[in-house]
Structure 1
Amino acid sequence: MLLPSALLVLVPLQGAPLMQPPTTTACKELQRIELALAPAATAREICISPGLMTNFVFDTRTEVDLQDEVRFLEVTRGRSTLSLLPPPDLVLGERLRLTVLLGDGTTQQRVTFSLVAYPGQAAHQVEVYRDQRPRESLQQELAQELATNQRLRDELEQTRARFEQLQAKLKQSGGLRDLIANKIISNFGIQARDLKKKELVPSEGVLTYEWGFGYRSDKSIAAEVSLKNSSPEPWIVAGGSLVDAHGKELKGMKLRQEKPIAPGSEGSVIVEVDVLRYEVLGELTLTLRDEGSRSITIPGLVFP
């Protein structure tokens, strides 16, 4: 039921919607506002979002004026309710004003809300109490808060238990234990051998191969090669390849370098490729390169 027009004077809002960063720290699905306990000098912020309905419930009859109402997909008014489906073109921080007249006659009260666009977040229901809420409502809110706190405590306890399990597992990891548990070594152990120097493909005088060792386990081969950097800039490995005599590249190379090789200094690079122990490899060619054009190619590497 509408109030007599003589009792209501609404001035349409002009101009474009305000665009300001949201100041509300969090959007609550259920927002309760007690006007008698918390009078506000500025408009109260309410989160809205495209595609999410926001419902207002008042404890008295109301009349409302909504800025840019024609943009909203749906606006449903009730005697003491208001349902809004916001415009689909809302952007973060956009603000639309909602002015509400509560009650009638000489006790009428005007309240202003600022509908703030939060993409993906919205207040599902806003309960506005002109007078202090009844005891039942306060008890309901308290019960909800207690349930939320209990849920958070349960989640914290679960997180703490998972953390303790990971700590215990970490203490048990490392060394030969992991290698044996992951079937990387067996009674054959890990074989190693020198990777002898051979004639190298020219490297533009940037890198020089100094020495190397090759290793083989049940599931992989690895090489540690020492390189000397003759360039004026530090050298950091960024990629590489390991190719057999037929030009077939071994896939899935993993690289490790503890620190850049400084100009005029030596440093090592470790490479590893998954290869089963029984696979015959023959001579392999290793190429290592940095992010630029500086690279080195080391042919004739024979692994155990």
Structure 2
Amino acid sequence: MLPSPPWSLLTLLSLQGAAVVEPRPVARCEDVQRIELALEPTAAAREICVSPGLTTSLHFDAPASVELQDEVHFEEVVRDRKLLTVMPPPEMSAGERLRLTVRFEGEPASSGITLMLVGHSGQATHQVEVSRDARTRESLRRELLQERARTAQLREALARTQALLEQSGGLRSLIASKTVGRSGVQAQMLKLDLPGPPEGGLSWGSGNSYRSNKSVAAEVWLLNSGPEPWRVAGGSLVDARGVEMKGLKFRQDEDIEPGQLKPVIVEVDASYAQARGELTLTLWDERGRTITLPKVTFP
């Protein structure tokens, strides 16, 4: 079942089109990957998605031997003449790369090919078919059937999404998603006392904080006294116990140019029992220019 549209306080507070700053998404790993050496014999190292805790199996169309970089730290390595199953090291991080060298039987050592295992978080390619020679008719037929099934699933998902979009919009979506209840959205003015020179060329102007059934948000107006434009790239919201609230999201319509006062909106999922008391909000840009706002409170 597809999730409901992501209506939130960011939607309520910024109804005009604008950029929402979130972590850069990782490319989706294919469940089945096919590598045909005969079609691209001189290609650079082919990349294969792997992830700690998930197995990836490589099927070769001819007997082969393999050399695996850092094999001693892998959770699982199972070899056969035409099959290799691996589960990467538990500490493998997203983007980390480990080399896999494959040499087919009967070919000189210098003819080995290099595959690159690339770490991803929570997703991996489960099956990789490595073909030294041209693929058989049966292999092509299996791929055709798989692609047809995938196309049918995508069509069904698209139809469900279109149906949801036709029903979505305005207050009805906020009510249906339980974002807004009888108490509506509570709001209050932020009153922060920040003495001293601006941090990173930024200083506090004014702001408001908000609470809905599912999240809290703050709209903070910042003055840029530095020589370069400023745009939020990350941040943290920490409670009085020093615990950071996870999943902080940002929205900023445009850069804060030197000498300008403009808003940045932040939001994080929170129940009515969470985000209580005085919290500390820290924001920074790609260059590391930071501003810290202590004693931020929510209704």
Normalising by structure 2, what TM-score? 0.51
Q: Deviations over 1:193-218 (max 9, x none)?
A: 11124234643461121221110012
The one-letter code of the counterpart of 1:253 is: L
The question of 1:274 aligning with 2:295 is answered no
Q: Using the alignment, how far apart are the partners of 1:233 and 1:287 within structure 2? A: 19
Task: Select the residue among 102, 106, 112 that pairs with 1:91.
Answer: 112
Q: Does residue 188 of the first structure (1) align with residue 183 of the second (2)?
A: yes
Do residues 121 (structure 1) and 116 (structure 2) align? no
Alignment of 1:149-298 (within 5 A): 156-200=151-195, 202-204=197-199, 206-279=201-274, 281-298=276-293
Say whether the 8 Å CA contact 2:38–2:133 is kept in structure 1: no
Within 2, Cα distance between the matches of 1:175 and 1:199?
37
SS of the residue corresponding to residue 281 of structure 1 reads: coil
SS at match of 1:166: helix
Alpha-carbon distance change, 279 to 86 in structure 1, aligned in 2, over 3 angstroms: same
SS state at 2:205 partner: strand
TM-aligned CA deviation for residue 223 of structure 1 = 0.2
Rg: which structure is higher?
1
CA distance, structure 2, for counterparts of residue 265 and residue 167 of structure 1: 41
Cα pair distance change 1:49/1:177, threshold 3 Å: farther
Q: Deviations over 1:50-109 (max 9, x none)?
A: 4559xxxxxxxxxxxxxxxxx964xxxxxxxxxxx767874359xxxxxxxxxxxxxxxx
**Corresponding pairs, count:** 197
The structural deviation recorded for 1:229 is: 1.0
Q: Distance in 2 between matches of 1:254 and 1:176?
A: 22
> Which digits, 9 at most, give the CA deviation of each residue in 1:101-152, with x for residues without a partner?
xxxxxxxxxxxxxxxxxx81244887xxxxxxxxxxxxxx8x9999987876
Deviation at 1:230, TM superposition (A): 1.2
Give per-residue Cα distances to partners, 1:276-301, cap 9 Å, x unaligned. Answer: 11447223332212233422222333
Q: Secondary structure at the match of 1:177?
A: helix
Taking the TM superposition and a 5 Å limit, the aligned residue runs for 1:96-115 are none
Q: Quick check: 219-228 or 148-157, which moved more?
A: 148-157
2:183 and 2:238 map into 1 onto residues whose CA distance is: 26
Structure 1 counterpart SS, 2:276:
coil
1:234 deviation in Å? 1.3
Provide the alpha-carbon RMSD of the alignment: 4.2
Verify: 1:303 aligned to 2:298, yes or no.
yes
SS in 1 for 2:130: coil
Q: Partner amino acid for 2:264?
A: V
Task: Give the distance between the partners of 2:294 and 2:82, measured in 1 at CA.
Answer: 64
Amino acid at match of 2:112: V
| 1:163 match: secondary structure | helix
Q: Which runs of 5+ in 1 are unaligned?
A: 1-20, 27-46, 54-70, 74-84, 94-118, 127-140
What CA distance in whole angstroms lies between the structure 2 residues aligned with 1:148 and 1:249?
A: 46
Q: Secondary structure at the match of 2:184?
A: coil
Alignment-mate amino acid for residue 131 of structure 2:
Q
Q: Which amino acid in 2 is paired with 1:282?
A: G
Contact 1:239 1:289 (8 Å CA) reproduced: yes
CA contact (8 A) 2:37 2:132 kept: no
Which 5+ residue runs of structure 2 have no aligned equivalent?
A: 1-35, 42-60, 65-80, 84-102, 115-128
Give CA deviations for 1:209-264 in whole Å, capped at 9, x if unaligned: 12211100122210011111111111121222223445444343222223321222
Alignment check: 8 A CA contact 2:200 2:290 kept: no
